[in-house]
Chains A and B, each alone.
Chain A
Amino acid sequence: MKTLVLGIGNPILGDDGIGVRVAEALTHRIDDGDIKVRTANTDGLGLLELILGYDRLILVDALMSESVEVGKVYRLKLEAIEPSAPSVSLTHHVNLATAVELGRKLFLEEMPKEIVIFAVGVKEISQITEEMTAEVGSAVPEVCELILKEVATFT
């Protein structure tokens, strides 16, 4: 199964970089031609281009909402981020759910059939810094293990 592990975020906005940090940490731990690990800092439609052609997408991002616990790892299904639910911190207008919906309309065959999201609760992503907070940064190993387990169950 062709799998894409995609870490999303902007590493100069502190905790927003969690997805990128996880992807960087995983790059050397996954050695499988069918699994690609990459990072992205883009909006929903830009994201669409990246995920075409994969059977499965594992996405890592920061999750900011009043109801999240900072540093806690959430495993979400795409359905969980319909408009009313806390939205994944994608930049620009189109959120992930909308991008996937549009993608399925345009490129049904090329869209990943399965999408899993690992989201880490964050409180604040407006400070310009390359350092993550200790609470969020310490989630990196945990997310990595979860993703390694996730890919192992399917391949």
Chain B
Amino acid sequence: MSKITIEPITRIEGHGKVTIQLDDRGNPETARLHVTQVRGFEKFCEGRLFWEMPVITPRICGICPVSHHLASAKAGDMILGVKLTPTAEMLRRLIHLAQYVQSHALHFFYLASPDLLFGMEADPARRNIIGLIAEMPELAKRGVKLRAFGQKIIEALGDKRVHPNAAIPGGMNKALEVAKRDEILREIDDIVADAQFAVNLIKNYCAEHSGEAQKFANFDTSYLGLVDGQGNVEYYDGKLRLKDSKGFLLEDVDPQNYLNLIEEKVEDWSYLKFPYYKKFGYPQGAYRVGPLARLNVADGMSTELANKEFAAFKKLSRSGIVTGSLYYHYARMIEMLNAAEGIRELVQNEQILGKDIWVNSKEIRGEGIGVIEAPRGVLIHHYWVDQSGKMLKANLIVATGHNNWAMNRAIFDVAKEYIKDGKVSEGILNRVEVAIRCYDPCLSCSTHALGQMPLEIIVYNADGGVHQVLRS
């Protein structure tokens, strides 16, 4: 039996590698994305006060720290047993949507669009953001502007662009200044237009490349995401909805009950666990999260332009369930438009300038659960505390974890296409990279900040010797 290893050879901060196991006839039997990085955050949290969690847990990620920040604060709200003031909730939604704009823009323009616009076969030296700036400056400009806009709002509310300090259990620690609100108002129409431009770009790409988009890493799973009271895509709060691969509603529950839905499987070759839907078992219960999943489980979107795009997206399949991995990019841009419009609605409402932003409580309940949609998918923070508020235990389920099975499956699909009877076709490196990137895993952020994911494929002989080495 032969074993093929695809290993990132430089900048392995995300510490992932891919191995492909061939059967006796030289065809892929399994594909595995090995996440060998262990962060140990759940352990660091023990013994600290729950008040500190919103500033400790964002350090898990440099790209979506706001999600951890808010999930933490939400768990804290529940421990205190408080309900937020309307202004506090609006401010939390504002910083959250700002993160969606910056994170989705970063991913699409800086990381994903070079693959799509230059083609997956293009030279990696050109297929990156630098190449994009050189050849399509008008497009790159919009990407930079969108990201900067999101970052600016995060900074206005959280003092810092990367690891903000804005939300606290019970509310927010700072009101929004009028001048800063006005600045957002001045720019927001352009930002909505830029987001619409990005939607059109990826929509046209998917139409022009529908063959590829339909074929590439397309498989069935269930889908998990939050929805609001009207069944719209929801990012900050709401109900946890699970649909199967045909669109059949499996669950629509209060997120506090997540433990009734999800179990996690541990595989001995990865530190990243594999969550699955309890009732279906593993791996039949594998589900996906993130932009594609959110659109798959929802009935609509809360804003006008995004809702129109949502309806068009749903028409891609008869059941309304879109399964191809490349459609993550399309779904992601519709969400960015939704987020931009959501920001506009928030800042047009004078209530966002309110000063009543924090509710205190003397009560300390033993348990708190904060569930939120991070840009990459459902994020769960579950804390257990003692009477003084000291953390006894933390359970964190991150978005990249939910998509773990799906990423492995996507790589397997690519491998089957590109490895036949022991012959490894050219282009496999790029395709594996593109497949992983659809899911925008944290892993990919840290291993290829500028859209380059250096990979090495080692083909092993049956006896374990190196048969062939391929490098990107």
Known: A92-B449, A107-B141. A102 touches B130 (CB 8 A): yes
Asked if residues A106 and B449 are in contact (CB atoms below 8 Å), the reply is no
- Cα of A98 to Cα of B450 in the assembled complex, Å: 13
Chain A neighbourhood of B32, CB < 8 A: none
Shortest Cβ distance from B93 into chain A, in angstroms?
A: 23
B133 contact from A40, A43, A93, A105, Cβ within 8 A: A105
User: Is chain B's interface secondary structure helix, strand, loop, or mixed overall?
Assistant: helix
Q: Does A42 contact B (CB under 8 A)?
A: yes
Chain B neighbourhood of A105, CB < 8 A: 133-134, 137
Asked if residues B144 and A43 are in contact (CB atoms below 8 Å), the reply is no
How many chain B residues touch the partner (CB < 8 A)? Answer: 16
Q: Does A94 contact B (CB under 8 A)?
A: yes
Q: What residue in chain B is nearest A44 (Cβ atoms)?
A: B450
Name the residue in A40, A52, A106 with the highest tally of chain B Cβ atoms < 10 Å from its Cβ: A106
**Interface of chain A residues 16 through 48 with chain B (CB within 8 A):** 40-43, 45-46, 48
Known: A49-B147, A49-B148, A49-B151. A106 touches B141 (CB 8 A): yes
**Interface of chain A residues 96 through 141 with chain B (CB within 8 A):** 98, 102, 105-107
Contact mask B103-145 → A, CB, 8 Å, 1/0?
0000000100000000000000000011001100100110010
Asked if residues B449 and A42 are in contact (CB atoms below 8 Å), the reply is no
Chain B neighbourhood of A92, CB < 8 A: 449-450
Asked if residues A41 and B162 are in contact (CB atoms below 8 Å), the reply is yes
Shortest Cβ distance from B329 into chain A, in angstroms?
A: 20
Chain B neighbourhood of A48, CB < 8 A: 144
Q: What residue in chain B is nearest A98 (Cβ atoms)?
A: B130
B129 contact from A42, A45, A49, A107, Cβ within 8 A: A45
Asked if residues B130 and A43 are in contact (CB atoms below 8 Å), the reply is no
Chain B neighbourhood of A98, CB < 8 A: 130
Q: Does B92 contact A (CB under 8 A)?
A: no
Q: What residue in chain A is nearest B452 (Cβ atoms)?
A: A93
Q: What residue in chain A is nearest B142 (Cβ atoms)?
A: A106
- Cα of A125 to Cα of B392 in the assembled complex, Å: 36
Q: Does B332 contact A (CB under 8 A)?
A: no
A106 contact from B110, B144, B151, Cβ within 8 A: B144
Q: Does B161 contact A (CB under 8 A)?
A: yes
- Cα of A107 to Cα of B129 in the assembled complex, Å: 15
B137 contact from A49, A52, A106, Cβ within 8 A: A106
- Cα of A42 to Cα of B162 in the assembled complex, Å: 9
- Cα of A49 to Cα of B161 in the assembled complex, Å: 11
15 interchain pairs (CB within 8 A)? A41-B162, A45-B110, A45-B144, A45-B450, A46-B161, A48-B144, A49-B144, A49-B151, A92-B449, A93-B449, A102-B130, A105-B134, A106-B137, A106-B140, A107-B141
Which residues of B pack against A, CB within 8 Å?
110, 129-130, 133-134, 137, 140-141, 144, 147-148, 151, 161-162, 449-450
Which residues of A pack against B, CB within 8 Å?
40-43, 45-46, 48-49, 52, 92-94, 98, 102, 105-107
For the complex with contacts A45-B129, A49-B144, 11 further pairs of A-B residues with Cβ separation under 8 Å are A42-B161, A43-B449, A49-B148, A92-B449, A92-B450, A98-B130, A102-B133, A106-B140, A106-B141, A106-B144, A107-B141
What are the nearest 7 A-B pairs in CB distance? Answer: A49-B148, A106-B141, A92-B449, A102-B133, A93-B450, A106-B137, A105-B137
